[in-house]
Amino acid sequence: MDYASVHRPVLLREALAYLEPPDGNALMIDGTLGEGGHSAAFLEKFPGLRVVGVDRDAEIAEKAAQRLRPYKGRVKIVVSHSRDFFAGYRGDAPDVILLDLGVSLFHYEMSGRGFSFAGTHKDEPLDMRLDYGGELTAGAVIARYKEEELADMLFVNGGERASRRIARLICEERKRSAIVTTGRLADIVHRALGPRSGHIDSATRTFAALRIEVNGELSLLEPLLESAAACLKTGGRLGVISFHSAEDRIVKNVFKRFARNEPIIKGRVLTKKPVVAADNEIAENPPSRSAKLRVIAPRGAPQGPSLGAA
C-alpha cells in the first residue's frame, strides 16, 4: 500500500462543508499541506477548484505531490513556512484558506525525528524539527533549559500539570548522562507520573510540548493567521484546525479581533463554538479526538453550512 494512502485527514466532512468554494474557477490555499489529504478531498469534490499547497518540509511535500498526481494541472506545491508564504504572497486572492495545525502521520511513523515514543516505534534521536532549517532540537531543549524554564515550557505548551515534577527529574537524570533519545525521555516521564494519564500515555503532553517549542508553533501562530487573512478574497473563508488548547485559544482570540476589524479584516466568525469530530470519526480516526475547527469569513460572505446536507 502506498504510505500516503494511510493518512486520514481530520474533520474532513466539516471542512468540506464550512469551506465550500464558489462554483467555477476558485482558488484554495492549503497552508499546511502535509500529506495532502484535505487537498485531495477538495479537488475531488469541487472540479473547478485549483489548490496551492504549502508545507515547510520538502520530504512530506514530495509525498503530497504523489498523492495529488491525479489532479495534475490544478495543483501547485510550494515548499515554504506558511507564515513566510502568506507574508510575501502576491498571487490571486484565494477563496478558501485552510490551516491544519496538526502533525502528519508521516512525521510520527517514518521521519525518524523523534516525534513519537510509543508502540512499535524504535528509539529515535530527540530532534522533532518539522524541517531541518531550524537549529533548535528537542535534545537541545532538554539539555540546555533550566529546570524552571523546562517546567514553564511543559505547562504552557503541553498543558502538563505535573510539569515541575517532570522537569525536576529530567534535570536530575541529565546530570548522570545526556538525554538524547525518545525512549530515555519517555522512561523518565513514566517514572515521574506512571505510564498512563487517563486514556493517553503520560509522556504524550511532554512530547507535544517539546515539538511546539522546537518549531515555535505558538509564537508563530498569530502572525500566520494575520498574514493569511490579509490575502483572503472578499467573500472567502479561513478555516483553522487546532489540536491543543493553547493553539485553539490563540485562534479564538485572533478571530475575535478580526470580527472587530482588528487589525486585518472585519469578519464574521461562522463557528460560535469550535466544530469537533463526531463519535464515529473518533472511533475510526483517533487523532481527531482533540481536533477543533474554527472558521471566519469577511462581512458580506454567505452564511455557514448545514452539515446535515454535507
In the chain, domain spans: 3-105+217-309, 107-215
214-256 confidence digits (pLDDT tens): 999 999 999 999 999 999 998 899 999 999 889 999 999 999 9
Phi, psi for 175 (deg, rounded to 5): -70, -30
CATH of domain 107-215: 1.10.150.170
Helix (H, G, I), strand (E, B) or coil at 296: strand
Confidence of residue 2 (pLDDT cuts 50, 70, 90): very low
Smallest CA-to-CA distance from 254 within 300, 285, 221 is with 221
Question: Of 132-136, 163-167, 213-217, where does mean pLDDT reach its minimum?
Answer: 132-136
Q: pTM above the 0.95 mark? A: no
1 has pLDDT over 70? no
Residue-level pLDDT at 234: 86
- Angle at 201 (CA atoms; ends 279, 188), nearest 5 degrees: 165
Is residue 126 a contact partner of residue 182, using CB atoms and an 8 Å limit? yes
Distance of CA 62 to the CA centre of its chain: 18
Q: How far apart, in whole angstroms, are the C-alpha atoms of residue 308 and residue 310?
A: 6
Residue type, 221: L
The whole-chain average pLDDT of the chain stands at: 88
Query: How large is the average pLDDT for residues 42-64?
Result: 94
Q: How far apart, in whole angstroms, are the C-alpha atoms of residue 198 and residue 195?
A: 10
Question: Of 15-29, 30-44, 121-135, where does mean pLDDT reach its minimum?
Answer: 121-135
Question: Of 48-52, 112-116, 140-144, 294-298, where does mean pLDDT reach its minimum?
Answer: 112-116
Q: How far apart, in whole angstroms, are the C-alpha atoms of residue 290 and residue 276?
A: 8
Q: Do domains 3-105+217-309 and 107-215 have the same CATH topology?
A: no
Residue-level pLDDT at 123: 85
Q: How far apart, in whole angstroms, are the C-alpha atoms of residue 29 and residue 151?
A: 37
Q: Peptide bond before 263: cis, by omega within 30 degrees of 0?
A: yes
Smallest CA-to-CA distance from 182 within 139, 216, 245 is with 139
Distance of CA 123 to the CA centre of its chain: 24
Smallest CA-to-CA distance from 29 within 53, 64, 55 is with 53
Report residue 125 as a C-alpha cell. 534521536
Higher per-residue confidence, 258 vs 263 = 258
Report residue 69 as a C-alpha cell. 498526481
Q: How far apart, in whole angstroms, are the C-alpha atoms of residue 296 and residue 289?
A: 22
Q: How far apart, in whole angstroms, are the C-alpha atoms of residue 29 and residue 76?
A: 10
CATH topology (fold) of 3-105+217-309: Rossmann fold (3.40.50)
